[in-house]
């Protein structure tokens, strides 16, 4: 089945992490909720596959279906309606990051269906005396020793995290990274990510040519580029939506 094959690698990724399905949830009821807005043909294929799956395979399929979904149209709608908050997010975040440092942070929500707690992905890149040092961790739990150590290295704390999260929530976004170009993650979709690249100035003709290839980059207007980063499986360029 095309839908299942497309996401096979995604399922294998999470199998290795041994995610545990919440046994208090009825699988059949959850499936009906997850497929209700899918195209009729896709929905029929999934329901047929689900009926013949083992219990473990059903859990894998439910995990795949419960992954977030987004689209280019939603990405554009958000930048159009929420640009002031997105611009404010960039400005306020830059005030928090130490000099000669780039910090990427992403907040991952909990998934009650699979007993997954909220977590943070954090990457810190610092430059001193022409030496580049990178510290990176995924799925850091709130209050964990490693998270506290990484935050302390850039003089951040829980209050800093709360401020960044509120700024992201206001912008309806999930991640941000400073640098020569600020990259703000709008939403994940499967294993892909829809993002905004915000330049300090309106793009030149040369920059527009470089950031308008119709695949991972689409020049939108002024200082804004839309970006789509494909994951290990699924589309690698902007889906046609």
- pLDDT value, residue 118: 92
- Torsion-angle region of 120 (φ positive above 0: left; ψ -120 to 50: alpha; else: beta): beta
What is the phi-psi region of residue 129: left when phi exceeds 0, alpha when psi lies from -120 to 50, beta otherwise? left
Q: Quick: pLDDT tens for 196-234.
A: 999 999 999 999 999 999 899 999 999 999 999 987 666
pLDDT mean over 162-174: 98
Check whether 173 has a pLDDT greater than 60.
yes
The reported pLDDT for the residue numbered 7 is 45
Give the integer Cα–Cα distance in Å for 120 and 182. Answer: 19
pLDDT at residue 9 greater than cutoff 70: no
Per-residue model confidence as pLDDT tens digits over 26-40: 999 999 999 988 889
Q: Tens digit of pLDDT for each residue in 87-127?
A: 999 999 999 999 999 999 999 998 888 888 899 999 999 99
Summarised one tens digit per residue, pLDDT across range 124-164 is 999 988 899 999 999 999 999 999 999 999 999 999 999 99
Residue 186 pLDDT > 80 = yes
- H or E element in which residue 121 lies: strand 119-128
Higher pLDDT, 231 or 71: 71
**Across the beta sheet with 175-177, what order do the strands follow?**
131-141, 119-128, 101-108, 175-177, 182-189, 192-198, 224-229, 217-221
Q: How far is CA 6 from the centre of its chain?
A: 19
Look at 197 and 1; give whichever has higher pLDDT: 197
Residue 3 has pLDDT above 80, yes or no: no
| Higher-pLDDT residue of 175, 8 | 175
- Answer whether 11's CB lies under 8 Å from 60's CB: yes
- 72 in helix, strand or coil? helix
């Amino acid at each position: 089945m095309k839908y299942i094959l497309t996401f096979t690698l995604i399922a294998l990724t999470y199998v290795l992490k041994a995610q545990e399905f919440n046994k208090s949830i009825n699988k059949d009821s959850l499936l009906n909720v997850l497929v209700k807005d899918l195209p009729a043909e896709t929905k029929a294929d999934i329901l047929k596959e689900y009926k013949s799956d083992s219990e473990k395979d059903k859990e894998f399929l439910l995990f795949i279906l419960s992954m977030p979904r987004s689209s280019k149209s939603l990405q554009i709608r958000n930048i159009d309606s929420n640009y002031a908050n997105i611009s404010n997010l960039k400005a306020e975040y830059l005030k928090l990051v130490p000099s000669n440092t780039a910090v990427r942070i992403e907040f991952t929500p909990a998934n009650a269906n699979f007993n997954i707690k909220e977590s943070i992905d954090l990457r810190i890149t610092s430059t001193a005396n022409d030496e580049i040092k990178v510290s990176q961790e995924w799925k850091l739990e709130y209050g964990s020793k490693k998270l506290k150590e990484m935050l302390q290295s850039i003089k951040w704390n829980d209050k800093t995290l709360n401020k960044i999260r509120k700024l992201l929530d206001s912008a309806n976004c999930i991640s941000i990274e400073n640098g020569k170009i600020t990259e703000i993650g709008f939403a994940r979709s499967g294993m892909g990510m829809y993002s905004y690249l915000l330049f300090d100035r309106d793009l030149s003709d040369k920059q527009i040519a470089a950031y308008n290839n119709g695949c991972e980059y689409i020049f939108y207007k002024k200082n804004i580029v839309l970006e789509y980063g494909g994951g290990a499986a699924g589309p690698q360029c902007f889906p046609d939506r």
